[in-house]
Amino acid sequence: MTIDSTRRIGFIGTGIMGKPMVRNLIKAGYEVLIHNRSRGSVDELTAESGAVTAASSPSEVANSVETVITMLPDSPDVQTVVFGEDGIVVAARPGFLLVDMSTIAPANTRVIAERLQVAGVDMLDAPVSGGDIGAINATLSIMVGGKPEVFERVKPLFELLGKNIVLIGGNGAGQVAKACNQIVVAMTIEAVAEALLFAKKNGVDASRVRDALMGGFAASRILEVHGKRMLDDDFAPGFKLKLHQKVMRIVMETAHQLGMALPGAALVTQQMNALVGSGDGDLDSAAIMKAVRRVQGGV
């Protein structure tokens, strides 16, 4: 049976976030052509559904569909997938659309979008927040940069993957919004860790302090979820610390380019650097508590 091209989509990067996103596209009736550097997730997805087909390269994906979503670890990965040997650009053509849902540097996003535009190819940057749980439940927050008319074309697709979908501005604006998100998240984790340790140092039950704060102006999702992780000393990853560190590196590099001082963000970035350097990069971001403890003498 011939599949309507509007119900076919390419997806490159089927890791912890990409894999459940592909599953949600399948549930919505899409045929998905996938490619990933390692084969494990590709084999798993193709075994699960006849609506998933594996491709041998990014160019093979792009040659067979009109729209490709990428969900990759970092800027160099996106550059390679788009412009490398057998990259997307080899098969891209006027009318083709790239939706990059990776988290990468805003400046790199703008360069990629400009190079693609020369070939008549539109691009949206659409990084997400919500972690693997949000990807599984299709409740991601999606921050989009690009042309309004292209956003409207893709919005129904975004609605299959997330709940809070906002066009921020032109290309790169989505990545700026994601960086802002991670600044707030990182500094709030730091604040929760310091508050709970302050309670403990004063001989007060930190779990009861958390319960009290949850009913006041200090209440937050981070106090609720990460605060509980800290109290339980449970740092099994939801969102790995090394991935959060990557975004904070992007934040600090961008701030340097702009001549900005971000003292709070710089502090938390150094906490993350220390943790990753000591082998804790695969723990959850809530493990920032471990760095704060060390400063306090291991409370």
Beta-bridged to residue 286, according to DSSP, are: none
Catalytic residue among 19, 147, 178, 201: 178
Beta-bridged to residue 162, according to DSSP, are: 140
- Closest by CA position to 131, among listed 23, 228, 16: 16
Question: Is residue 163 annotated as part of the catalytic site, yes or no?
Answer: no
Q: How far apart are CA 23 and CA 7, in angstroms?
A: 14
Structure tokens at 38: 């390692």
Residues 283, 235 contacting (CB under 8 angstroms): yes
Structure tokens at 208: 């009861």
Q: Which residues contact 51 (CB under 8 A, 6 or more apart)?
A: 26, 30, 31, 32
Q: How far apart are CA 50 and CA 33, in angstroms?
A: 11
- Closest by CA position to 13, among listed 32, 38, 31, 30: 38
Please give the positions annotated as active site: 178
